[in-house]
Amino acid sequence: MTERLPCKSEGCKATILPATAAKTGGYCMPCVQEQERRKRQAYIEEHRKTVNLYEGLTAPVEILKLKHTPRRHDPLIQYVPYPLKKETIYAALSVEEAEEMLDYALQLLAAGDLETSRDILSSLVCYRNHNIAAALSKLMECGMLHPGVLYKDAAAPIRDRLLQRLDWDDDHRNSMLLALSWIGDEQVLRRFREWRENQPSWAERLYVAPETYAREAGWELTPGGERRDLIHSLAYSIAKREQPSNSEMEGVARFLNPADSNCPWCGGKLDTLMDVDTAHPSLSYLELAEERLQIQTCVRCGCYGVIYMEYDSSGVPGWSRFNRIPDYLQDLSPEEYDGEYLAAGPLLTLSSQPHSAFYTTEWGLSQHNSQIGGHPSWVQDAEYPACPCCAKSMVFIGQLDWEDFEEYGEGIYYMFLCQEDRLTATVYQQS
Ligand SMILES: [Zn+2]
Ligand SMILES: [Zn+2]
Ligand SMILES: [Zn+2]
C-alpha cells in the first residue's frame, strides 16, 4: 500500500498520494481548488468596475431601450441597476414615447429579434393598454401570433385573416384561437357559436373545444350563445410597503389575516386573503349589499384544489358545504408552516389609482401580480371554478402572488365570486 501524506492545510483531514503532493505542494485537490477560487475572487474584487449605463440618460425611451438590451454577465463589471422598474416607466410614457417604443419593437421584429420585440409589445399593451392595432399586420407577416392579448384591439381585416388561417394553419391554431378570443367581438362570438353547434374538422386536434379559449381572455360563451365577462376591467394593484401605515386605505382593504375559524381538513387557522370595503371602486361595480367582502381559504389545503366559502347576509364567511376534500390531499401538519406570509399582511396596501386592466395578463413579465380586478395572470391554463349552486363560472375578483411578498414565495391565489349564491372560491396555481 502506498503511503499517504496529510494535506498541509490547517484543519484539513484529507490524505494524499506523494505524487499529488509533488504536484500541488502538499495540498489535497479540494484545498487547491479552494485556494484558486479565493485568488480569483480577490482578483475580481480588486479589479471589478462599477458601471452605470444609465448615467446621463433622462429620456424614458432611451432608458427602456437599454433595459431591454440583453447584457452578458461579466464578473468584472458591476452594473448599477436603474431605480425604476420597466412597468413603472411604461405606465408613465407619453403617447408619443409609447409610439416610439412601438416603432423600436417593429424594427427589432424586422431584424429578427422576436423575443425583445415581443417583450416591448407586451409591455405596451399590458402595462398601459396601448393600442397597437396599426402594427398587427406586420406582426402577422413576421409570424408573431403570441401572446394573444397583442391582438385585442385588432380591426376587422386582421380578425378575418385569423379566421381564414384557422382552416389551414395547423401549426398556429392554438395561438390564433387565443388571439381571436382576445378580440372577442360579435363576429368572433358568431363563429364560436357555429363551432359549438357544428364542430369544425380541425377542432379534433385541440385539447379543448374552440369556444373554451375565450376563458383565457376573461369571458365565456353562455349556453344561450352570449358573451359573459368573467373579469372586471377596473384593476387596483396590491403592493407591499416597507412600513405598515395608518393611512385611510388601511381600513378600506386588509390582506392576509388569520381568520377566527379553523380549516376542517388540516385543523389550522383559515386565512382571510382579503377583506375589502365594498364601496371601494375596485368592488363597487358589484353593488354588494354587504359592507365588506371577505375572501377566505386555507393556504395549506387550497394549493390542492378549489376551496369554497359561503357568506351570510352580514358578509361573514363560513366553510362551504360544497367543499370536497381532494383525494390526494397530503397529511398536512399546520405546525410545519411558518405562516411567514401573515407578517406581510399589514404591509400590503391597495393602490389609490387603478392601472391597466391587462397589467398582469402576461405572467412571465416582470410586474408584481397581486391586484383586485383586471385580468388574472394564469400560471397554467385559465381556471374559473364553476359555482356549485348555479353551475355558472364564478367571476374573478383578484389575486395574491406569493412572490410579491415572500422572499422565496411562489404561486398565485386567485379569488372568485358568485354573487347570487353568496359564494367565494379560491384556486391556486404555480409553475
Ligand atoms: Zn486539504
Ligand atoms: Zn387546511
Ligand atoms: Zn352561483
44-84 pLDDT, tens digit each: 999 999 999 999 999 999 999 999 998 888 999 999 999 99
Closest ligand to C-alpha of residue 386 is 3
- Asked if 390 and 402 count as a contact pair (C-beta separation under 8 A), the reply is no
Ligand in closest contact with the CA of 35: 1
34 C-alpha to ligand 1 centroid (Å): 9
The rounded Å distance from CA 42 to ligand 1 centre is 20
Question: Which long-range contacts does 54-63 make (Cβ < 8 Å, 24+ apart)?
Answer: 54/80, 54/82, 60/89, 60/92, 60/93, 60/97, 61/93, 61/97, 61/100, 61/101, 61/104, 63/89
pLDDT in tens, 175-189: 999 999 999 999 999
Distance (Å) from CA 10 to ligand 1 centroid = 8
Q: How remote is the CA of residue 27 from the centroid of ligand 1, in Å?
A: 5
Ligand lying closest to the C-alpha of residue 7: 1
What tens digit of pLDDT does each residue of 354-389 get?
A: 999 999 999 989 899 999 999 999 999 999 999 999
Is the model's pLDDT at 254 over the cut of 90? Answer: yes
* CA quadruple 33, 38, 44, 46: dihedral, nearest 10: -150
* Confidence band for 248, pLDDT divided at 50, 70 and 90: low
Cα-to-centroid distance, 30 and ligand 1 (Å): 6
pLDDT of residue 71: 87
Residues 6+ apart with CB under 8 A from 85: 366, 367
Q: For position 251, what pLDDT does the model report? A: 84
What is residue 84's predicted lDDT score, i.e. its pLDDT? Answer: 95
Specify the pLDDT at position 247: 66
Asked if residue 245 has pLDDT above 80, the reply is no
Statement: residue 249 has pLDDT above 70: no
Distance between CA 239 and CA 211 in Å, rounded? Answer: 35
| pLDDT reported for residue 224 | 95
CA–centroid distance, residue 396 to ligand 3 (Å): 13
Ligand 3 geometric centre to CA of 420 (Å): 6
Number of the ligand closest to the Cα of 16? 1
Average pLDDT rounded to a whole number, residues 31-40: 94
Task: Indicate whether 250 pLDDT > 70.
Answer: no
Predicted local confidence at residue 113, as pLDDT: 96
- Look at residue 330 and tell me whether its pLDDT is greater than 80: no
pLDDT of the residue at 339: 80
Q: Which ligand does the CA of 10 lie closest to?
A: 1
CA of 7 to the centre of ligand 1 (A): 5
Report residue 1's pLDDT band, with 50, 70 and 90 as the boundaries: low
User: Which ligand has an atom closest to residue 387 CA?
Assistant: 3
DSSP secondary structure letters along 184-240: --HHHHHHHHHHHHS--GGGGGSSS-GGGGGGGGTEEE-TTS-EEE-SEEEEEEEEE
> Does pLDDT of 262 surpass 70?
yes
Question: Mean of the pLDDT values across residues 315-342?
Answer: 84
Asked if the model's pLDDT at residue 235 lies above 80, the reply is: yes
CA of 47 relative to ligand 1 center, distance in Å: 28
CA of 8 to the centre of ligand 1 (A): 7
Cα atoms found within 13 Å of the Cα of residue 1, Cβ hemisphere only: 4
48 CA to centre of ligand 1 in angstroms: 29
Q: Which of 18, 13, 19 is nearest to 3 (CA)?
A: 18
CA of 399 to the centre of ligand 3 (A): 20
The answer to whether the bond into 223 is cis (omega within 30° of 0) is no
Q: Helices marked H in 292-368 — which ranges?
A: 340-344
DSSP state at residue 393: B
Cross-strand partners of 296: 272
Q: How far is the CA of 4 from the centre of ligand 1 (A)?
A: 13
C-alpha 2 – ligand 1 centre gap (Å): 18
Would you say 314 and 288 are in contact if contact means Cβ atoms under 8 Å apart?
no
pLDDT above 80 for 337: no
Q: What is the pLDDT of residue 244?
A: 76
CA angle 82, 86, 87 (to 5 degrees): 140
Residue 155: per-residue pLDDT: 97
Digit-coded pLDDT (tens) for 270-302: 999 999 999 999 999 999 999 999 999 999 999
pLDDT band of residue 402 (cuts 50, 70, 90) is very high
- Please report, rounded to a whole number, the percentage of residues in the chain having pLDDT higher than 70: 98
DSSP code, position 37: H
Q: Evaluate whether 125 touches 132 at the Cβ level (below 8 Å).
A: yes
Inform me whether the pLDDT recorded for 340 exceeds 90.
Answer: no
Of the given ranges (41-55, 225-239, 320-334, 346-360), which has the lowest mean pLDDT? 320-334
Distance 308 CA to ligand 3 centre (A): 11
For residue 395, give the nearest of 406, 386, 408, 404 by alpha carbon. 386
For the beta carbon of residue 319, count every other beta carbon within 10 angstroms: 18
Query: Which ligand is located closest to the Cα atom of residue 416?
Result: 3
Interval 392-418 mean pLDDT: 95
State the pLDDT confidence band at 336, using cuts at 50, 70 and 90.
confident
pLDDT given at position 192: 97
Rounded to the nearest integer, the mean pLDDT of the chain is 94
